[in-house]
A and B are shown apart, each in its own frame.
Chain A
Amino acid sequence: MILYLLCLALFCVGLYGVLRKRNLIKIIIGLGIIEYAMNLFFVLLGYRYHGRAPLQAQDQQVLNMVDPLPQALVLTSIVIGLGVMALVISIAVRLYEKYGTFDITKIKRLKG
């Protein structure tokens, strides 16, 4: 249970970073932390204490095995996270070129 709570705490740290920070890079780091927290949560769902890898071999019965599906899904989700991260960072770099600042409160030409 404590692991799940720590995972929730990690998620909240990320959310705090996205919502409260003014620096673009810190917002992006917050987004990264959210992604780690949700990937960790999904892996934890399939984890078993003293479980083993789900490998089938001849003449061997696997009894207490870890659920492999979340791990496969999390791999996909990490790749998606990488794509988003690369895109957002490149936009942040372009924004710095245009506005000369990373401060989100100074980047506000769109209003209304």
Chain B
Amino acid sequence: MNQISIIPFFVIIPLFTAFLLSLIGRFIKRLFVDVLSETSCFLLLVASMYSLNMLRESAAPALIYKVGSWMPPFGICMVLDGLTSFMLITVNLVAFLVCLYSHNYMEKYTDKPKFYTLFFLMLAGMNGVVVTGDLFNLYIFLEIASIASYALVAFGTEAEELEASFKYAIMGSVASSFIFIGIAFLYGFTSTLNMADMARVLSAKPNQWLIPFVSVLFLMGFGLKAALVPFHAWLPDAHPSAPASISAMLSGVLIKALGVYAMIRIFFNIIGTSQAFLSVLMFLGVLSMLAAVILALSQWDLKRLLAYHSISQIGYVVLGIGLGTPLGILGGLFHLFNHSMFKSLLFLNSGSIDYAVGTRDLKEMSGLREKMPVTAHTNLIASMSIAGIPPFNGFFSKLIIIFACVQAGHLGYALAAVVGSVLTLASFMKVQKYAFSGELKEKNQNVLEVPGMMKLAIVSLALICVLAGLLLLPSFRFFLNDAVNVLLEGRKYAAVVLEGVLK
């Protein structure tokens, strides 16, 4: 029982750090601000590892923390199951490395304590979305993370950044209101807000017209948060405009925690999936995969190119999960993990280039390999991962998704996934060629490699990219399998949670 009380700390630690930093950040030394935020990120990482271990040891499908000891479905509960601990580790691992990276990178911006405050608010929102077991609570955390991210996109307060942030804020708020109305409809029908109880009521009391209507509302809302193609217009502006470490957080984990995770949790575990919904999801996935990668090919701004690739890779994740077969969901979730690693690495590398050379235009940089060997090599690893070259992690997850497509009889989608992968490779060949090989430009003679903390962060991410393929080995497989099982059991989630409450 005592162990379970670790669950709320995923929200408490970042919220408290944000509060503390906004209060005392101005009066203490810069170094102390950095150390404080790195410590709390590290604590979060340790706590998420510990929670995975705790879940394994308890052998229960889900651990439930009752906030204020109120019994669910009346009180709010927090649920830790396989999918939750998978997402917690992904989010907090990226957050910790990004926090290390920000130590040096954010020096060029003036107000570091404010940056960390917003960063931790965003982290609190994401962790909250992942652990909560209450639908309205999910909306609250989603809004906390979104508002913090709107502010972070505008952090540089240059003209372009403000423009991108305004666009993002307006579209994000409209998406949130669709989600809110969907929640209101579900509450009106089931008279409960607890996710497990709602699933129970919905399966006991089926309804003809409500489910499709609410599904469309949620698909629009979460689709916009996840930047699936018809709703993607904000992402290529917003992600490049933020500081590089925030771009890494936004592309790496925010669109997954707020978009993909919340969507699949609601659809698979509460509303219940239908074949029609899965077909829509697969179609949107393939559409994002191909449309975004074609748009990416013509980009010359490095960060904008990476942002388009985020949309494309989210397409792979959604395609894999949309297949609905065990293999498909495994591939989708594994690609979600891998994409957070290599996409944050790529964004951090673009930030390193920006830090050292001062440009994001691919035509302005060339021959940086001599001057920045670490960045060049990590970028090569990340490029090969995202394009799906064999020993790296991206290859395995894409392979599983393609196999799952073939197994489910969707040969066209499998072909589309291969084509998307080839186009991705083409566009990253361009990045490597223009940024790192060729003649060194005259004005770049004095470029220096980035400082130690930034190197540490990018090298760790590159190592994860190389080693993450090992997660498929039988002894590490539980990490993914537990998450997959949560989605496969569908509405049995209700029984699992409501029984877990009584323990």
| B-binding residues in A (CB < 8 A) | 11, 15, 18, 24, 27, 31, 34-35, 38, 41-42, 45, 69-70, 73, 76-77, 80, 83-84, 87-88, 91-92, 94-95, 98-99, 107-110, 112
Of B157, B160, B173, the residue contacting A110 (CB under 8 A) is B160
Report the count of interface residues on B (CB-CB < 8 A).
34
A95 near B163: Cβ-Cβ < 8 Å: yes
CB distance from A7 to the nearest CB of B (A): 10
A31 is contacted by which of B143, B163, B174 (Cβ under 8 Å)?
Answer: B174
The answer, yes or no, to whether B31 is at the interface (CB within 8 Å) is no
Can you name 12 extra interface pairs (CB under 8 A) apart from A88-B170, A99-B159, A110-B241? Answer: A27-B170, A31-B173, A34-B173, A34-B174, A38-B177, A42-B184, A76-B140, A87-B147, A92-B166, A95-B162, A110-B160, A112-B236
Choose from B140, B173, B188, B241 the contact partner of A84 (Cβ within 8 Å): B173
Q: Nearest-CB distance from B177 to chain A (Å)?
A: 5
Chain B 186-220: CB-based contact to A (< 8 A → 1; otherwise 0): 01100001000000000000000000000000000
Within 8 Å of chain A (Cβ to Cβ): is B465?
no
Min distance, Cβ A98 to any Cβ of chain B, angstroms: 4
Closest to A94 in B: B162
User: Which residues of the partner chain B approach A15 to less than 8 Å between Cβ atoms?
Assistant: 174
Chain B neighbourhood of A77, CB < 8 A: 180
A98/B162 in contact, CB under 8 A = yes
Tell me if B62 is interfacial: C-beta within 8 Å of chain A: no
Complex: how many Å from CA A80 to CA B137? 12
- Given A95-B166, A110-B164, A112-B304, are A35 and B177 neighbors across the interface (CB < 8 Å)? yes
Assembled-state Cα–Cα distance A71/B151 (Å): 29
A110–B237 CB distance below 8 A? yes
Check B165 for interface membership: any CB of A closer than 8 A. Answer: yes
Chain B residues with Cβ below 8 Å from A84 are: 143, 147, 150, 169, 173
**Which of B164, B170, B236 lies at the interface centre, i.e. has the most chain A CB atoms within 10 A of its CB?**
B170
From A37, which residue of chain B is reached at the shortest CB distance? Answer: B177
Q: Given B136, B159, B187, B236, which contacts A109 in the complex, CB threshold below 8 Å?
A: B159
Cβ of B154 and Cβ of A91 under 8 Å apart? yes
Can you list 27 A-B pairs with a CB-CB distance of less than 8 A?
A11-B181, A15-B174, A18-B174, A27-B170, A31-B174, A35-B173, A69-B187, A69-B193, A76-B140, A77-B180, A83-B147, A87-B150, A87-B151, A88-B169, A91-B150, A91-B154, A91-B165, A92-B166, A94-B157, A94-B162, A95-B162, A108-B163, A110-B164, A110-B237, A110-B241, A112-B298, A112-B301
Say whether, besides A83-B147, A84-B169, A88-B169, A110 and B180 are in contact (CB < 8 Å). no
The smallest C-beta distance from B79 to any residue of chain A, in angstroms, reads: 20
B481 proximal to A (CB < 8 A): no
The contact of B166 among A41, A80, A91, by CB within 8 Å, is A91
Q: Are A87 and B187 closer than 8 Å at their CB atoms? A: no
* Cβ-based interface call for B299 (8 A): yes
Interface-central residue, A70, A76, A84, by most chain B CB under 10 Å: A84
- Among B164, B173, B241, residue most surrounded by chain A Cβ atoms (within 10 Å): B173
Given contacts A95-B162, A112-B299, contact A18 B170 (CB under 8 A): yes
Question: What is the bound-complex CA distance between A73 and B130, given in angstroms?
Answer: 20
- Chain A residues positioned under 8 Å from B140 (CB to CB): 76, 80
* Complex interface: chain A residues within 8 A of B174 (CB): 15, 18, 31, 34
Instruction: Kindly state the separation between the CA atoms of A93 and B304 in the bound complex, as whole angstroms.
Output: 26
Once bound together, how far apart are the Cα atoms of A69 and B188, in whole Å?
Answer: 11
Distance to closest chain B CB from A1 (angstroms): 14
CA distance A42 to B157 in the complex (A): 36
CB < 8 Å neighbour of A38 from B143, B154, B170, B181: B181
Which residues on A sit within 8 Å (CB–CB) of B151?
87
Q: How far is the CB of A29 from chain B (nearest CB, A)?
A: 12
| CB-based nearest B residue for A111 | B237
